[in-house]
Amino acid sequence: MKKLLIKNARVLSPEDGIDEILDIVIRDRKIEKIGKRLTGDETMDMAGLVVCPGFIDMHVHLREPGYEEKETVYTGTKAGLRGGFIALACMANTKPVADNRATLEFILNQNQKAGFLKLYPIGAVTKGQKGEELAEIADIYAAGAVAISDDGKGINSCAIMRRALEYNKMFHGPLIVHAEEQTLAKDGMMNEGLVASLLGFHGIPREAEDVIVARDLELIASTDSSVHFAHVSTLRSTALIREAKKKGLPVSAEVTPHHLLLTDTAVKSFDTNTKVNPPLRTLNDIEALCEGLRDGTIDAIASDHAPHTFEDKDCEYSFAPFGISGVETSVPLMLTYIVKKGVLTLGDFVRKVSVNPAKILHLPLGTIREGTEANLTVLDLEASGEVDPEIFLSKGRNTPFKGWKYTGRAVYAIVDGRVNKIG
Amino acid sequence: MMEKGLHDIENLTREDLELVLQTSDTFLEICTRKVKKIPTLRGKTICLFFIEPSTRTRISFEIAAKRMSADVINFTASTSSLQKGESLTDTVKTIMAMGVDLFVLRHSAPGSSRKVEQVAGVPVINGGDGPHAHPTQAMLDLYTIYRHKKKFQDLKVAIIGDIFHSRVARSNIFSLTKMGVDVTLCGPPTLIPKEIEKLGVRVTYSVEDACRNADVIMCLRMQLERQQSGLFPSMREYIQLFRIDDRRFALAKDDAIIMHPGPMNRGIEITPEIAYHPRSVIEEQVTNGVAVRMALFYLLLGRGNEEITD
C-alpha cells in the first residue's frame, strides 16, 4: 500500500492542540503518522496551505427523493465537496418525508453510488413532518439517521415536542429544532420591522423564533433531552441559549453564513434570493450572533443549503420559496468575512465547521490523529475569487452573494484518504 | 427623474415631485378643453397590465393614455395565460414580443413592477403593488393638496385607518414628508406597521388627537376582508373608534379638506355627510388623477416626441 506524504503544511487541529508546520502520512485510508521530516511514496508539498480536520456541513437539503429538479444526492454531495466539506448532514423534508427506514436507506444508497463524501441523513421527528404524531424514531436511527428534525417546519404543539424529547432520549442523536412558532410566522415573507413596513410585506417577528427557543429550553430542562437549535437568527434566542448553557442544559446551536452577513435591507432589492427562513434580520441581531459565535453560545456554522430551480425563484417575491444555495459559498465567505475580519480565529472557525458538528452529531470526525481515517480539509487562505453561481455544481444557483469577493477557500477535501482537488 | 419607470416614491427627490406637480397643471388644462386630445403619444403602445382588480386606477390610466393618443392594450388576469399557470416573466415576454412601449402594472405582490421592468426592458409605472406602493395615487393626492393649500410647509396631514395594508398610506408618507409636511398616522395598533415612526411620522391611536388642527384628513379604505383575520374585534368597534364624522372633522382647522383614495365604504371609515361635505375633495382627486397620469406618461414617454399641446 502506497504512502501519501503531505509535506510542510500548517496542520491545525484545535481538538488535538495542534497548530504547527508538520508532515502527515496517509496509508490505507488512515493517518499513519504525523510529525516532522517524514517520508512517503508520493509527496504533496502543501507549504503555505492549512490542513484542518475535515469540514462538516451539518445542515443541508439535498431534495432527493421528490424534488430532483432542485437537487439530487449526486449533485448536492458533489457541490458539498467543492465547498470543502468531507461530510454533510441532510434534512428530512424530502418527498416522501424521510420519516421511514426506506427513504433513509434510499438516500444512503444514492450517496454510496455518488461516492463523493460522507452523508449523514437526519430523519423526521413526526410523521410527514406534520407535527402531529411521532415518526418511527427507533427505525429511523436504525436506518442510519444521526439526528431527528422537522426542519422546514416548526413543531407547534408543546405536547408533541415534549413527547418527542422524552422519546428521543433512548437514542444517540439530538433533536434539531427549527424554531418557528407557526401562527406568528404565518404569511411572513421577511423580518418584521421597518423594512417590511416599507415594502408592505407581512413580517416574521423575532418572537416567532424566540418563544419556541424559550419553550424548548423549558422542555429540555424537564426532560433532560438534548436539543440542537438550527439556524439561530435573533439576538434574544442567542441570549436564551447562552443562559441555558450556563445552567448546563444539553443544548447546542448553529448559525448560517447568510444570517451573519446580510440584513433585511437586502430585501429592498426584491431579489427572491434574499428570501430565507428564518428571515434575514438586523445589524443588532448580527452583532449578537457574532458575539454568540465568539463566546461559544453558538457551536456551529452550517449553510442550510436550500437549492431551488431558476424557475422556482424567477417570480414575484411573495410567491418565491425560501432558501439559499449555500454549500459552495459557506467556507470562502466565512474565511473572508468572519475569520479575516477577526470575528473568529481560524482555530475557532475550524471548531464551528468540524470539531463541534462532529461532537453534536456523534461522528468519528473533527480530529487529526494517527490511526484515524484521513478526513481532512485543506485551505488556501490567499486564494481569491468571487462568487459565481454559473459555475455552481449544485443545481441551485439561488444565491444573494453573486459577485461577492473572497480571499480564502478550500483547495483539497480528503475523504477517507482519497484526495480531491477543488478547482 | 425616474430614469426608467416609476416604482415608488421613496427613490424620488423633492424636485422630482415638484416637476410632476408643475407638469400636471398643463395637463389639467387640457382635460378642461372641449376636445380633450393631444397627439403626444401617437404611435406609442401602453399596456395596462392589471393582475389585480381595479376600477378607478385602470380607467384613469386608460383615459390619460387615450387623451394623449397612445394605443392602449388592456390586460386582465382573469382572461389571461396567468390563469393557466404561465409565469409573470413569460407573460411579459410574450406581450413584449408584440411591441409595447410602457407598462402600467397592478399586482398583489410587492416589488412586482420592478420584476416586470427587468423582463420587459421598457418603463413600468407601478399602479399599485400589494401593500407596498401606489406612487401615482400619492402624486395625485399631493397635487390635490397643493391646489387647495398652495404650500406644503407647516401643513398637518392626518392619515387615518388601516395603515398596515395600505400602499396609499406608504406612498403618501414618503411624498408628504419629502415636501416637509407634518404627518400623523392613526389607526388601531394592530394596523400600524412596525417601526413606521422611524420615517419621521407621528403615530397616535386617538382619532381626536389626529384630527385636531389638521389641514388635511386622509381616510383610508377599510378593507372589509381584514375583519376576518381578527386584526380588530368588530366593525362596530372600529367605527366607534376611527370613523370620521362631523364631530371629529370639526376638530380640524376651519379650512381643512377631507380626502379618500376610494373606493369608499360609506358609513365605515367615513360618514356620508363627511364624504359629501363641501370641503370633501374626493371627486377632485379622481379628476386630478387623470392629469397627473398624463403628466407621468409625458415625462416617461412623451418628452422629445412632440410638443405637449400640438
The C-alpha cell of B11 is what?
427613490
Strand partners, A7: A45
Whether A319 and chain B come into contact, CB under 8 Å, resolves to yes
Model confidence band, residue B80 (pLDDT cutoffs 50, 70, 90): low
Whether A201 and chain B come into contact, CB under 8 Å, resolves to yes
Residue A200 and residue B108: Cβ atoms within 8 Å?
A: no
Model confidence band, residue B86 (pLDDT cutoffs 50, 70, 90): confident
Q: In this prediction, does ipTM exceed 0.85?
A: yes
Residue B194 and residue A317: Cβ atoms within 8 Å?
A: no
CA B120 to chain centre: 23
Residue of A nearest to B198 (CA): A194
A304 is catalytic: yes
- In the 8-state DSSP scheme, what is residue A156? -
Q: Taking residues B265-271, what's their average pLDDT? A: 93
- pLDDT tens-digit map of B153-180: 999 999 999 999 999 999 999 999 999 9
| Chain B environment of A194 (Cβ under 8 Å) | 194-196, 198-199
Residue B167 and residue A200: Cβ atoms within 8 Å?
A: yes
Residue of B nearest to A192 (CA): B194
Residue B38 predicted with pLDDT over 80 = yes
- pLDDT tens-digit map of A178-217: 999 999 999 999 999 999 999 999 999 999 999 999 999 9
| Chain B environment of A317 (Cβ under 8 Å) | 109-112
| Chain A environment of B118 (Cβ under 8 Å) | none
- pLDDT tens-digit map of B198-245: 999 999 999 999 999 999 999 999 887 767 778 999 999 999 999 999
Residue A335 predicted with pLDDT over 50 = yes
Contact B152/B132 with Cβ under 8 angstroms? no
pLDDT at B54: 87
- pLDDT tens-digit map of B60-75: 999 999 999 999 999 8
User: CA of B115 to nearest chain A CA: how many angstroms apart?
Assistant: 7
Q: CB under 8 Å to A413, separation ≥6 — which residues?
A: A54, A55, A81, A84, A85, A86, A117, A376, A377, A378, A420, A422
- In the 8-state DSSP scheme, what is residue A202? P
Whether A183 and chain B come into contact, CB under 8 Å, resolves to no
Residue whose C-alpha is closest to residue A274's, from A243, A313, A239: A313
Instruction: List C-alpha distances in Å: A146 to A124, A178, A366.
Output: 11, 16, 16
Size of interface A-B (CB pairs under 8 A): 61
Whether A193 and chain B come into contact, CB under 8 Å, resolves to yes
- DSSP strands (E only) in A14-54: 18-27, 30-35, 42-45, 50-53
Residue B133 and residue A317: Cβ atoms within 8 Å?
A: no
**Helix, strand, coil percentages in chain A from 3-state DSSP, rounded to 5:** 35, 25, 40
Strands A30-35 and A18-27, by their bridges, are: antiparallel
| Nearest-CB residue to A316 (from B88, B198, B199) | B88
- Distance from C-alpha of A143 to C-alpha of A139, rounded to nearest angstrom: 6
Mutate which of B194, B220, B228, B231 to test chain A, going by most A C-beta atoms within 10 A? B194
Residue A153 predicted with pLDDT over 60 = yes
| Nearest-CB residue to A200 (from B87, B88, B130) | B130
User: CA of A285 to nearest chain B CA: how many angstroms apart?
Assistant: 16
Q: CB under 8 Å to A201, separation ≥6 — which residues?
A: A188, A189, A190, A267, A317, A318, B110, B131, B132
pLDDT at B253: 98
Contact B161/B221 with Cβ under 8 angstroms? yes
Instruction: List C-alpha distances in Å: A133 to A122, A175, A205.
Output: 17, 15, 27
| Chain B environment of A200 (Cβ under 8 Å) | 110, 129-133, 167, 170
Residue A270 and residue B133: Cβ atoms within 8 Å?
A: no
Strand partners, A251: A227
| Nearest-CB residue to A314 (from B89, B108, B199) | B89
Name the average pLDDT for chain A.
97
Model confidence band, residue B306 (pLDDT cutoffs 50, 70, 90): low
Residue A194 and residue B108: Cβ atoms within 8 Å?
A: no
Strands in B182-186's sheet, in edge-to-edge order, are B202-204, B182-186, B156-160, B216-219, B257-259
pLDDT at B310: 47
Q: Taking residues A280-304, what's their average pLDDT? A: 98
Choose the catalytic residue: A57, A304, A312, A380: A304
* Per-residue H/E/C for chain B: CCCCCECCCCCCCHHHHHHHHHHHHHHHHHHCCCCCCCCCCCCCEEEEEECCCCCHHHHHHHHHHHHCCCEEEEEEHHHCHHHHCCCHHHHHHHHHCCCCCEEEEEECCCCHHHHHHHHHCCCEEEEEECCCECHHHHHHHHHHHHHHHCCCCCCEEEEECCCCCCHHHHHHHHHHHHCCCEEEEECCHHHCCCCHHHHCCEEECCHHHHHCCCCEEEECCCCHHHHHHCCCCCHHHHHHHHCECHHHHCCCCCCCEEECCCCCCECCCECHHHHCCCCECHHHHHHHHHHHHHHHHHHHHHCCCCCCCC
Residue B107 predicted with pLDDT over 70 = yes
Q: Which amino acid is at A185?
A: A
